[in-house]
Structure formats: C-alpha cells, structure tokens
Amino acid sequence: MTTTFALAGKGGVGKTTVAGMLIKYLADRQSGAILGIDADPSSNLNMVLGLDLEWTVGDIREDMLAQVRQSLTQTGAAMGALPGGITKAEHLDYEIRSSLAEGDYFDLIAMGRGEGPGCYCAVNHNLREVIDAIGGGYQYVVIDNEAGMEHLSRRTTRDVDHLLVVSDPTQRGIITAERIAAMRDELEIGVENAYLILNRLAGDMPAPLQERIDKMDITFLGSIPASTELAEFEFSGRPLIELGDESPVYQAVAAMMEQVLV
C-alpha cells in the first residue's frame, strides 16, 4: 500500500528543502521504494536529491501533441492518433517511465513546464492515469507541489495521506498557510491528515506566532531551525540530500516524521 505525502505552501518557504529531507528520512529509516514527484514548473527537486534530469512530463506532453498535430496535418488522421498507431496512453506510459530519474534509494518524476496553447484535457487525463499507475508501484510517494494547492488535483489523482503545509515564521506566512490548508476540502482528491510546518525559525518560537498557530484548524507538527550549513549547501550547489544525520534541519524533519509514521 502506497503512503503519499504532499508539500504545499506559498513560494519561497522551503517546500523543496523539506521534501528533500523527507525523502532522505524515508530512505534512511523506512523500508520500501520511494518516488518523488516534482510538481513545480521550476523543477529543482532533482538538484536537492543529486539526480540528473533530462526530460520532464511537460516536455513529453508537448512532444506528443506536436506529433499528433503533424499526423493530423499530413494524413488527416483523427485527432488523438500518433504515428504508427500507438495510443496516447501507451506513448505517455513509455516516455514517462523512460524519463524517470533513478537513484540508489529513490526515483524522481518532474512535471516541468506548464501547458502551452491548445487543448490538454484528454492528455492531462492520460497523464494522471499513467503517473498514478507508476506511483502505485512505490511504498512512498512525495509530491513537491508548486505554490498554492489548487494544482495538486490537476497533477495526480492519488489521494494524499499526509499534507504538509510549510510556512515561514511570520504572521503573514502562517495566515497564508491556513488559507492553503483550508483548500484541502475543495480538491478532487482526499486528504487524510494535514499538518503545519514552520521553516527557518531562528531561536525560540515567538509568543505571538504560537498564539496564532494555536487558533488554526490544522495540526502544528513542528519547526525547522534556520541553518547556516543549509545556506552553504545552497551557495555551492551541493545536493541537500548529503546533509549529515547530525544536521539540525534533518533531525527536525526526522522527529516530525516519527510522529506521522507511527
């Protein structure tokens, strides 16, 4: 049975960092295959994980639509046909599996760029089915979502066991996180558990922030300390997955996951 995590939050709060530390924790302390899904168009989870990324799902989608349009122009074939008679679902399944970035302990699919002009409804339906089928072969799926949450249901049909809403340690950030968390009831997928994570907290929790958090309709899972070591990794481009187990950032995420995966 697959356990699915999804990261959400406004831009710049460190969702990708938390996703990377979560994947590191799962690889270090849990058993079973792990799939990361980078649903942010900027596609940089691979850099955090130290994986090479050649193709994204967005690239595959655009290439397939180009083939369909060319076939329609040259042969007058029905819309949706591909050269050689292969179906769109078969083509997407093959290409996405081929694009998988494989690591020793985890794999990665990157969604990549957004949609260009034209109709994507049928293609996106096929994409969701293919990605859902691939994810079903893993013990854990970690989805690093783009800013907000409305895109989550468009990216994958898989229900979410644990939604991790990441915020910076500010009143505005926490209010935004609360609004994002409230959207979980409007999605076309089910969210079983939702948690708030406060990232880059310098020192102790300020009383006004704690008071605001206590009033929220979402479980506060914990905080991650600000880290100069993390900044050094970011400056050098070194994969964050290489942070040592003694790193306060990693230890904070690991402690939170021990609460979630009881």
Reported as a single tens digit per residue, the pLDDT across 84-103 is 667 777 888 888 899 999 99
* pLDDT at residue 79 is higher than 70: no
- DSSP class per residue in 95-108: HHHHH-EE-SS-EE
**Confidence (pLDDT) at 218:** 93
Region 182-202 average pLDDT: 88
pLDDT classification of 132: cutoffs 50, 70, 90? confident
CA–CA separation, 189 and 184 (whole Å): 8
Name residue, tokens 């880290």.
227
Strands 101-102, 140-145: pairing kind? unpaired
**Confidence (pLDDT) at 36:** 96
CATH code for 3-55+100-113+132-260? 3.40.50.300
Name residue, tokens 């942070």.
243
Q: What are phi and psi of 30, to 5 degrees?
A: -120, 160
- DSSP class per residue in 146-186: PSBSTTHHHH----EEEEEEEE-SSHHHHHHHHHHHHGGGG
* pLDDT at residue 21 is higher than 90: yes
pTM score, whole prediction: 0.89
Percent of the chain with pLDDT over 90: 57
With 0-12 / 13-18 / 19 or more C-beta atoms within 10 angstroms meaning exposed / middle / buried, residue 81 is middle
For the chain, where are the alpha helices, taking DSSP H only? 15-29, 45-49, 57-75, 88-99, 121-135, 152-155, 171-182, 207-214, 228-236, 248-260
CA–CA separation, 212 and 65 (whole Å): 48
pLDDT classification of 82: cutoffs 50, 70, 90? low
Cβ count within 10 A of residue 221: 21
Cβ count within 10 A of residue 75: 10
CA–CA separation, 96 and 99 (whole Å): 5
CA–CA separation, 192 and 189 (whole Å): 10
Region 178-185 average pLDDT: 85
Collapse the DSSP code of 54 into the 3-class scheme (helix H, G, I; strand E, B; otherwise coil) and give the result: coil
- For 96, the token pair is 């996405």
Q: Which candidate, 122, 128, 133, 131, places its Cα nearest to that of 81?
A: 122
Region 57-74 average pLDDT: 75
Distances (CA, A) of 220 to 22, 80, 146, 172, 205: 17, 47, 21, 16, 12
